[in-house]
């Protein structure tokens, strides 16, 4: 009885779908309690300086306003004078909300108004008057490129002789690419609801990608015992990295709750969603040297990204250029330029989404210079091993991604000359790009419990930020335990549950999923041992002849309900908890997901308007646990990649040092009318080294390479090479 084909690998609907579409799923800012107070954050209007005074008299005169907290009257927090951080912190000193009178960036939280309703709190916040001593500021990356310092990142060391090989290469490319700031803007704004208990314990519903990270952070900041802090995140309305670090509404809500000994909720406005982390602006120079046949002789990728003055944010920005293609002479550098801004933060495929834009646009330019088809250039430089690590890949079906993606797209009908394909006044362009993302696994724990009714409950502190974690863990558990899908309940989003890493990096299935599988297999072993004691026929059957499935144990002609076996246990239930770690089998290998993205654009010859009319994304991500939710992940990534290419940019008014388009009216993202046909292909890839599930994750890979493919298609359509993103019609014209 092989359940693999029917449970793991099946395109099942989300188990939490009904709760979400009927409104039964509650989010961080939706949990009610009688007497709950509401906090509203008052933000700085300058980018650098000091607060001279905060006048809150008018606000406090508003009936229903309970308190106004700021640096001069906040409760004492001893840890504010010590070092503390969180699991996703950058190097440096984290922002301490309401710490002192220093203003470090525009939008910094300077006061918290607490009132009996959210409307009262926000109105009272508008009455607060803040006087500043304003200092000079700098928010423009391009103005301080010469002041950048080496990033504290693990950038691979140079290998070979880049300078010598580049100098003698028959075909050379030297191009610089600019990517903008982008903000996460998940549908659910950040919020924290802190329920203050009679014994001083706090139960907190927070928008987060890691409940235990928040628990640890609050333990360090406020000195509260962890058993007095329970963080819950049953449902998260998107995060994309914005929930990796505890955002400032969390310590502010806790500060107010402890000070007032009342329950408090703090919800950020959409405008305030632009006052913490974001994808950093970059300038990237790529130099490629190749033979006339397109064989890469030399690669250099030099990048400068922005960071804050108080933390050095780093991401994996340039590594991809040393691993995606075979090349013996590689030089990579990554520098940071501090500005009067908040610290950037990981955003979907951090580093890769930006860094691969530069690499894959440069590869397209090299293909044009060498008069080669873009796919053929990439084929000629296929790397079976990761040059940065000197390790072979556990699996890499990128060539199959090229083949299947190109066939589905119809790439063979492409004429290579720019402006050679058109329909009326619409110039047609076809472009492609490769993608890569590391396939990681983290240590994780899970608990599995089965009762006398055969109901299986599996739990872990992981979260579900909309990726389908509830569903795939249910599938993995049902498969491993041999029970019916409808008899499985997966519990997550609670810091009191078995330890789990932050949800990010596309490693949740490989990390938590392996723990769930091991726990359920261990539970199955307990069921078998119990069955052997209770049923002589089972005891006489060799282990290899016994199978589990559909809620039954099958031994030859004997079929026994798992529930009946469990009912005979001492407690009427069986329980096991395990911790899963990466296997030593991984050590000699590099592990990564790969993709090939093909894009068709239409560019109006007169107006310069750009429409993406077709996308094919071919992905090699190992074993896909649920093709339906995985496809949704790739679709979302592709749409975001189209936004990166054509629309998305957080614009800064540098004289004021603040973001201009800090709302969803002016911060442009793709809408339904911008999206045409997107086809997703999952290329078969078997990998028994990456982890026991053979899964590599798909959350990040969907966005990687998309923006480059669009830009390459625009060049093919128009003959205009735009190296500054997003590619808007003014740049094309």
Render 205-233 in DSSP notation, one character per residue: EE--S-HHHHHHHHHHHH---GGGEEEE-
Cα–Cα distance measured from residue 416 to residue 599, given in angstroms and rounded to the nearest whole number: 14
pLDDT of residue 363: 98
Collapse the DSSP code of 369 into the 3-class scheme (helix H, G, I; strand E, B; otherwise coil) and give the result: helix
Closest CA to 583 of 475, 417, 442: 442
Do β-strands 677-682 and 456-459 pair in parallel, antiparallel, or remain unpaired? unpaired
CA distance 615 to 597: 7
Q: Using alpha carbons, select from 456, 467, 444 the residue that is nearest to residue 490.
A: 456
- pLDDT surpassing 70 at residue 5: no
* 700 assigned to active site: yes
Percent of the chain at pLDDT > 70 equals 98
Token pair belonging to 584:
């030593």
Say if residues 709 and 433 touch (Cβ distance below 8 Å): yes
Buried b (16+ CB within 10 A) or exposed e, 603-620: beeeebebebebbbbbbb
- Which DSSP letter does residue 279 get? B
* Kind and range of the H or E run holding 641: helix 627-646
Local confidence band at 4 (pLDDT 50, 70, 90 cut-offs): very low
Count Cβ atoms below 10 Å from residue 323 Cβ, excluding itself. Answer: 22
Sign of CA dihedral 268, 273, 275, 279: positive
* Higher-pLDDT residue of 334, 540: 334
Do 386 and 592 touch, CB atoms closer than 8 A? yes
Q: Which residues contact 529 (CB under 8 A, 6 or more apart)?
A: none
Domains and CATH numbers, the chain: 31-136+187-239+243-274 (3.90.1170.50), 349-440+590-732 (3.30.365.10), 442-581 (3.30.365.10)
Radius of gyration of the chain from Cα atoms? 27
Is this structure's pTM higher than 0.95? yes
Residues 6+ apart with CB under 8 A from 514: 441, 444, 580, 691, 692, 693
What does the pLDDT average to over 423-431?
A: 97
pLDDT for the residue numbered 82: 64
**pLDDT at 3 (0 to 100):** 38
What six digits make up the tokens of 638? 């592709």
* pLDDT tens-digit readout, 450-491: 999 999 999 999 999 999 999 999 999 999 999 999 999 999
Give, rounded to a whole angstrom, the gap between the first and last alpha carbons of the chain. 62
The residue annotated as part of the active site, out of 315, 648, 700, 724, is: 700
| pLDDT for the residue numbered 495 | 98
Residue 660's contacts (CB-CB under 8 Å, 6 or more residues apart) are 651, 652, 653, 666
Check residue 78 and give its pLDDT. Answer: 76
Q: Counting every residue, how long is the chain?
A: 733
Say if strands 488-491 and 456-459 run parallel, antiparallel, or are unpaired. Answer: parallel
Max Cα distance, the chain (Å): 85
CA 316 to chain centre: 13
Taking only the tens place, the pLDDT of each residue in 342-371 is 999 999 999 999 999 999 999 999 999 999
Measured distance CA(222)–CA(254) in Å, rounded: 9
Q: Say whether pLDDT at 76 is over 70.
A: yes
The better pLDDT of the pair 419, 540 is held by: 419
At residue 143, the 3 state secondary structure works out as helix
d(CA 712, CA 667): 24
The H or E element spanning position 363 is helix 352-369
Contact, 252 vs 38, CB < 8 A? no
DSSP element (H, E) containing 120: helix 118-125
pLDDT above 70 (res 192): yes
Cα separation, 208 vs 216, in Å, equals 13
Mean pLDDT over each residue of the chain, to the nearest integer? 96
Residue 76 has a CB neighbour count (10 Å cut-off) of 6
């Amino acid at each position: 009885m092989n359940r693999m084909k029917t449970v793991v690998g099946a395109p099942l609907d989300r188990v939490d779908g009904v709760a979400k579409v009927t409104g039964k799923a509650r989010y961080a800012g939706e949990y009610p309690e009688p007497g709950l107070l509401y906090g509203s954050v008052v933000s700085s209007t300058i980018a650098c300086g000091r607060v001279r005074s905060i006048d809150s008299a008018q606000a406090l005169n508003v009936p229903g306003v309970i308190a106004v907290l700021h640096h001069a009257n906040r409760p004492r927090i001893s840890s504010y004078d010590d070092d503390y951080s969180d699991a996703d912190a950058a190097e440096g000193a984290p922002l301490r909300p309401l710490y002192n009178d220093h203003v470090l960036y525009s939008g910094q939280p300077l006061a918290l108004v607490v009132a009996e309703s959210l409307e009262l709190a926000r109105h009272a916040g508008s009455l607060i008057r803040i006087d500043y001593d304003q200092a000079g500021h700098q928010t423009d990356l391009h103005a301080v490129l010469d002041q950048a310092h080496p990033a504290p990142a693990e950038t691979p060391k140079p290998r070979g002789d880049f300078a010598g090989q580049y100098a003698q290469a028959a075909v050379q490319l030297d191009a610089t690419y600019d990517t903008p700031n982008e903000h996460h803007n998940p549908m659910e704004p950040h919020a924290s609801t802190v329920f203050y208990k009679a014994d001083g314990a706090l139960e907190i519903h927070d928008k987060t990608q890691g409940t235990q990270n928040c628990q640890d952070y609050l333990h360090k900041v406020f000195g509260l015992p962890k058993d007095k802090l329970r963080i819950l995140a049953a449902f998260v309305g998107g995060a994309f990295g914005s929930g990796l670090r505890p955002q400032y509404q969390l310590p502010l809500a806790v500060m107010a709750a402890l000070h007032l000994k009342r329950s408090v909720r703090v919800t950020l406005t959409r405008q305030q969603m632009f006052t913490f982390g974001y994808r950093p602006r970059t300038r990237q120079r790529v130099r490629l040297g190749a033979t006339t046949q397109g064989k890469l002789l030399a690669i250099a990728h030099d990048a400068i990204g922005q960071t804050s003055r108080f933390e050095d944010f780093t991401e994996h920005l340039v590594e991809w250029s040393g691993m995606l293609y075979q090349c013996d002479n590689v030089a990579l550098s990554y520098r940071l330029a501090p500005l009067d801004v908040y610290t950037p933060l990981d955003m979907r495929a951090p580093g890769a989404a930006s860094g691969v834009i530069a690499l894959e646009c440069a590869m397209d330019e090299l293909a044009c210079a060498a008069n080669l088809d873009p796919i053929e250039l990439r084929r000629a430089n296929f790397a079976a091993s990761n040059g940065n690590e000197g390790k072979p890949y556990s699996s890499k079906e990128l060539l199959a991604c090229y083949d299947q993606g190109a066939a589905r797209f119809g790439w063979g009908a492409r004429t290579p000359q720019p402006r050679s394909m058109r329909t009326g006044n619409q110039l047609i362009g076809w472009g492609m790009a490769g993608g890569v993302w590391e396939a990681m696994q983290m240590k994780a724990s899970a608990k599995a419990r089965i009762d006398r009714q055969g109901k299986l409950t599996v739990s872990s502190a992981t979260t579900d930020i909309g990726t389908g974690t509830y569903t795939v863990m249910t599938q993995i558990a049902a498969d491993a335990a041999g029970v019916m899908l409808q008899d499985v309940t997966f519990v997550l989003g609670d810091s009191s549950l078995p330890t789990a890493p932050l949800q990010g990096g596309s490693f949740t299935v490989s990390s938590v999923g392996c723990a769930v599988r091991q726990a359920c297999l261990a539970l199955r072993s307990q069921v078998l041992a119990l069955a052997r004691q209770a049923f002589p026929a089972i005891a006489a059957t060799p282990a290899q002849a016994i199978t589990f499935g559909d809620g039954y144990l099958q031994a030859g002609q004997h079929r026994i309900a798992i529930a009946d076996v469990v009912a005979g246990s001492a407690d009427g239930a069986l329980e096991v908890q395990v911790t899963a770690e990466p296997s030593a089998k991984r050590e000699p290998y590099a592990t990564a997901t790969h993709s090939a993205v093909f894009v068709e654009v239409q560019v109006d010859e007169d107006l310069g308007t750009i429409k993406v009319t077709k996308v094919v994304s071919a992905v090699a991500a190992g074993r896909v646990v649920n093709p339906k939710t995985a496809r949704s992940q790739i679709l979302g990534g592709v749409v975001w990649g189209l936004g990166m290419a054509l629309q998305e940019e957080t614009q800064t008014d540098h004289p004021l040092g603040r973001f201009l388009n800090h709302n969803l009216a002016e911060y442009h993202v793709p809408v339904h009318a911008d999206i045409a046909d997107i086809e997703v292909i999952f290329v078969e890839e078997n990998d028994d080294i990456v982890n026991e599930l053979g899964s590599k994750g798909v959350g990040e890979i969907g966005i990687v390479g998309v923006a480059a493919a669009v830009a390459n298609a625009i060049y093919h359509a128009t003959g205009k090479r735009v190296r500054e993103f997003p590619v808007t019609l003014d740049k094309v014209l």
